[in-house]
Amino acid sequence: MILSEALQSVTQTLRRAKIADASVEAEVLLGHVLGMSKTGLYTEPERSLTSAERERLRRLVWRRLDGEPAAYVLGHCEFYGIDFYVESHAFIPRPETELLVEEAVKLAQRISRQGEQSTIADIGTGCGAIAISLALALPQAKIYATDISPSALKVAGVNCRRHGVNGQVELLQGNLLEPLPQAVDVIVANLPYVKDCEFVDLSPEITEYEPTIALAGGRDGLDKIREMLEQMRGKGGVHLGEGPAYLLLEIGQGQGEMVTSLVNDYFPQASIELISDLGGIERVVKVGL
Ligand code: GLN
């Protein structure tokens, strides 16, 4: 079998399985197996596939047809222009979360203009996408990244090594803020926020493959956010530094008002701002404490 035939056949197979963007996915899968770029695929249409390559391709296509997300099948995905290793123990970073990184970078830059190097904590780091994006954007900042799941932290560890930030990003196992060794200037968190009643409507591609613990937020979706606010208040704000400190939370569609009033219950003096994503959905809650 030659490359152009393989491309056509995989595209058709994916299309029959009703996978959106079948031709793009076919290019990505084939490029992955052959170690070729998209343009490479079209400049060598006559290149023949070895039997080992055919077998590898067949296995990957099977996994995709089974409903496994493309990022897990390929073993990586892109977030904030950076390539991350992913596998099923860690949630696949979503493009909307880049807004959280952008806001955290702005805050940290403001803090460093005042002559201080900022300390940031990414709570529930998963594959480490937020923490590592911050580390690369802010080489002077110290980043802590916590997760309750040891297997997610292993994935984050691979990504820290891949991007050479092991010294800058400290991975800590534990529940939310508990493992933090010191107060920080900015807490960033993409915690689970999907409501129980909405969880059942998510696609099987998500619910059967991605870690439920990263998504399911209980009845109103805010269980983990509430628990973290509780931890912050419980220790008399010990998690946040002396100077101006900030909390940045990702939220789901329609949760802005509820989260604002929740934060207000815990921190009546806080300034709260809702920031919308490119789709016009209120996505980030910025809290000045
Ligand atoms: N954005 C994710 C989704 O809807 C949810 C992420 C989360 O719960 N933090 O799939």
- How far is the C-alpha of 271 from the C-alpha of 264, rounded, in Å? 9
CB-CB contact of 130 with 120 (8 Å): no
- What lies within 8 Å, CB to CB, of 234 at 6+ separation is none
Pair 45, 166 in one domain: no
Whether residue 119 has pLDDT greater than 80? yes
Q: pLDDT band for 112, please (50, 70, 90 cuts).
A: confident
Residue 75 lies in a domain: no
CA of 192, closest atom in ligand 1: 8
Closest Cα to atom 9 of ligand 1: 192
Whole-structure pTM value: 0.94
Three-class SS state of 222: coil
CA 57 to chain centre: 27
Q: State which residues form the domain around 263.
A: 90-288
CA of 94, closest atom in ligand 1: 1
pLDDT tens-digit profile of 144-155?
999 999 999 999
Closest Cα to atom 7 of ligand 1: 192
CA of 193, closest atom in ligand 1: 8
Cβ of 168 closer than 6 Å to ligand 1, yes or no, is no
Q: 114: domain CATH number?
A: 3.40.50.150
- Could you give the percent of the chain with pLDDT greater than 70? 97
Closest Cα to atom 5 of ligand 1: 215
Predicted local confidence at residue 237, as pLDDT = 55
Cβ of 192 closer than 6 Å to ligand 1, yes or no, is yes
Pair 123, 236 in one domain: yes
Output the DSSP codes for 75-94. Answer: TEEEETTEEEE--TTSPPPP
Of the listed ranges 63-67, 191-195, 240-244, the one predicted with least confidence: 240-244
Pair 27, 129 in one domain: no
Pair 284, 198 in one domain: yes
Mean pLDDT, residues 167-173 taken together? 98
- How far is the C-alpha of 151 from the C-alpha of 173, rounded, in Å? 10
Neighbours of 247 (CB within 10 A): 25
Whether residue 107 has pLDDT greater than 90? yes
Pair 222, 160 in one domain: yes
Whether residue 238 has pLDDT greater than 90? no
Predicted local confidence at residue 242, as pLDDT = 66
Pair 62, 167 in one domain: no
